[in-house]
Structure 1
């Protein structure tokens, strides 16, 4: 099987000959309301590709082999039924109708950073939006229109040229849609909330192929769901309108502390995070060094000129002098590149999971530090990355959007870089051990850091029943695939 494009079929006799050679008794077209029980044949795929602006990539082609790859190399062996490179909302609608006709699961893909490989799952029809990725700014109302395939660096560079931006995560190749649908944590979350808090409108396609617009005043239930409900649930978002803010220069500080001060660092950082100016953000990295030792460091981001004062107030809250400290000021886009490690990111293998913490008493701090230390004593490397869930993120009520973590202190991302397939077993064994150590102290997990085998309810807290009801209403056959079962 190979690449099938609409252009090839409009080009002439070669395509016509291929179609004739592959003719079957199955009708090339069927009513959208008729469900055909058998999987689509190559002839069915060809008929479908004729209607599309983007390419339809099938197993057996070089293009398919590369297009199906995700950021995480762990899933290189995945075998989706097809990768459809959509170029328009109409392409998404046609794809949904085709998938419904043949009972195919649809896996949305924006950046391809799914932690569980959902956007390349075996047997699914992947709708890859990375060729549907424009970003534009409307100076009249200060909004940005971002199509679902745009990566974060594209969003930042396009808007920064107009002196504007939106709050996002830092990895440059993460898809804006995937990040936003799960909420969207980043270095400006304390000042502006999660990425989805800046949404004013979305365009979407329902699993039955209907196109809708949703906002606070139109299809408000869908608008609620897409702000934190996660990708691949309820609806396929094709475009997003965001309220932007000024893209100002940033101050960045880095503090390293003696590992013996770990408990004081975590508890002091927690106190600071609850009371610091919203414009001040800092996270903590606790790293297993693989030799029995750990390192404890903090990265902070502020408005330019405030970095030393912010660091000083944080150090005062911790009550321990750092063993090393550095400070810098960067223009906005330079700060984006510095924090993201450049304008792109290489594919890599990794294992990850998350917990959500209400508070940080010394006992909880000890559990986090103990989990990382256990990994190091076992000869492994890994990190606990603690991001604040405070500041402006706390202003909306927990039930106001599908993102539920409005009354909590921090997320903990357990992260291990994995260099070979044999490394995943020990990595996930450690992550599961860390979950067990925090049992009773964790409220759940962050949906953008999905883990296989975890119940969906873990990611939505009190919003789970409403999201389940909406999914039943809009996707009763579970056409969309997210990796979560509910």
Structure 2
């Protein structure tokens, strides 16, 4: 079963609302600043600076989402060290050049590119394991993290998409398919190395630069500096049982009602996701998941859910090594690691909610009816609870510890009307909570939606480490 069978996604929204301004800062006289000296920056880097007209520029400027292919950065710097990053930030600061950072290039709003300098950390992708800890470069793709740590029999809790960069995932929190058992990615972060706006390289943990360390655990990427490496505690990678159950659309309401009471309160070892989708193949209801354990125990846990929904039209479950489980959940089960690393690019439009309470009957109807509307789209409900909820909402910058599940809305095409309509319909039930790693350019109340009561402290960290606001996102702290 391919993960993308559930997403049904293609093509994103108009760029006008999502692309940072192309204007260059001007002085008090109104005259433009001198043009940036790109040749000088190129000489300063051990990595590679790719400029318009260079071979490889068209590849270098692309994100995962093809909808942003029209954006043409002034330059893309493939940095190989913290010193390279520092040189890029000095260049941007002194030359008035807009700067953005890219790890895996999966920003939902396209904010890992822009018209100025893109600092790409993908070449800082080492994965080193020693003594129960993994030190991982900020540009490492998740499939490489899983693969290299599997050789030592360990892993970290992370996301499912193979080509997501560990940097962006961690900085926004890091919800994944074993988070109920092992916590968010950021919960397992022991230290992070960050290059700040003034060019300094800082090691941050619970005792050194503790405020910045706190902010890097859920405060979102691109706000406070450029993270170049992370050190995580690891867990022993056990076999996992992956499962897929499908029902006819007539059981959609029953599935939502049963799953939202079952999934978030299951044992920590069991993570699940409810998928409601409409595609060219029609309407579909599915529950997929991972269980850190064997199939007989999983069958016993699934029994009460199936009793409430009814017999599924199809059902499969198998126990596999941990790495194989992550490949299955990432949609590249039959591929080599190298092929997983080159997953096809996909365009999509998305929005999110964080559900702090179960949907009442009218909320269930609104969700099911919304997915049934004409079009090609899907909604994914991902179970939270477990280890996620045992961390205090202020202990890290990720505030949504009491959420029962996250909600992802996906749509095909450039027309966002279905997304906006269903998101608006569901807001009275879910509230205004959202996940920063599913960043949403439509949100006007994004500070509260992403960060809740942690927003004020994040602003203090911003003023300490980037008082001149070198790092500016449209939804930036």
TM-score by length of 2: 0.88
Mapped pair 1:430 → 2:425 = no
- Checking the alignment, whether the CA contact within 8 Å between 1:286 and 1:294 is kept in structure 2 is yes
Q: SS of 1:133's equivalent? A: coil
Count of matched residue pairs: 433
State the Cα distance separating 1:394 from its structure 2 match: 0.2
Mapped pair 1:448 → 2:437 = yes
State the Cα distance separating 1:314 from its structure 2 match: 3.0
**Per-residue deviation, residues 387-439 of structure 1 (Å, max 9, x unmatched):** 112111001111111111101111111112x4xxxx212xx111100111012
1:14-413 equivalence runs, <5 A: 38-41=33-36, 44-121=37-114, 123-138=115-130, 140=131, 142-289=132-279, 294-305=283-294, 306-316=297-307, 318-342=308-332, 343-344=340-341, 345-360=343-358, 361-374=360-373, 378=374, 380-413=375-408
- Checking the alignment, whether the CA contact within 8 Å between 2:143 and 2:163 is kept in structure 1 is yes
**Per-residue deviation, residues 193-248 of structure 1 (Å, max 9, x unmatched):** 11110000000011111111111121111111011111101121110000000111
**Distance in 1, Cα, partners of 2:232 & 2:34:** 39
**Per-residue deviation, residues 137-158 of structure 1 (Å, max 9, x unmatched):** 01x2x00000101000010000
**Distance in 2, Cα, partners of 1:300 & 1:214:** 34
State the Cα distance separating 1:39 from its structure 2 match: 4.7
Residue in 2 that maps onto 1:14: none
Mapped pair 1:464 → 2:455 = yes
**Per-residue deviation, residues 299-350 of structure 1 (Å, max 9, x unmatched):** 021024133223224324x342222211111111111111112223111211
Q: Is the deviation greater in 258-267 or in 272-281?
A: 258-267
**Distance in 2, Cα, partners of 1:264 & 1:178:** 36
- Checking the alignment, whether the CA contact within 8 Å between 1:280 and 1:303 is kept in structure 2 is yes
TM-score by length of 1: 0.86
Residue in 1 that maps onto 2:10: none
State the Cα distance separating 1:290 from its structure 2 match: 5.3
- Checking the alignment, whether the CA contact within 8 Å between 2:251 and 2:309 is kept in structure 1 is no
Residue 466 (structure 2) aligned to one of 455, 475, 481: 475
Q: SS of 2:429's equivalent? A: coil
- Checking the alignment, whether the CA contact within 8 Å between 1:68 and 1:83 is kept in structure 2 is yes
Residue in 2 that maps onto 1:29: none
- Checking the alignment, whether the CA contact within 8 Å between 1:250 and 1:332 is kept in structure 2 is yes
**Distance in 1, Cα, partners of 2:272 & 2:208:** 37
State the Cα distance separating 1:265 from its structure 2 match: 1.2
- Indicate how the Cα distance of structure 1 residues 482 and 231 shifts in structure 2: closer, same or farther if over 3 A, else same: farther
- Checking the alignment, whether the CA contact within 8 Å between 2:124 and 2:140 is kept in structure 1 is yes
Q: SS of 1:314's equivalent? A: helix
**Distance in 1, Cα, partners of 2:369 & 2:331:** 29
Q: Is the deviation greater in 352-361 or in 223-232?
A: 352-361
Q: SS of 2:371's equivalent? A: helix
**Distance in 2, Cα, partners of 1:253 & 1:284:** 12
Residue in 1 that maps onto 2:335: none
**Distance in 1, Cα, partners of 2:169 & 2:301:** 28
State the Cα distance separating 1:273 from its structure 2 match: 2.2
**Distance in 2, Cα, partners of 1:155 & 1:483:** 30
**Distance in 2, Cα, partners of 1:47 & 1:259:** 60
State the Cα distance separating 1:263 from its structure 2 match: 2.1
- C-alpha RMSD of matched pairs (Å): 1.6
Q: Is the deviation greater in 191-200 or in 442-451?
A: 442-451
- Checking the alignment, whether the CA contact within 8 Å between 2:135 and 2:232 is kept in structure 1 is yes
**Distance in 2, Cα, partners of 1:483 & 1:53:** 31
State the Cα distance separating 1:37 from its structure 2 match: 6.2
- Checking the alignment, whether the CA contact within 8 Å between 1:353 and 1:431 is kept in structure 2 is yes
Q: SS of 1:131's equivalent? A: coil
- Checking the alignment, whether the CA contact within 8 Å between 2:46 and 2:80 is kept in structure 1 is yes
Structure 1 residues not aligned, in runs of 5+ = 1-35
State the Cα distance separating 1:363 from its structure 2 match: 2.6
From the CA coordinates, give the structure whose radius of gyration is larger: 1
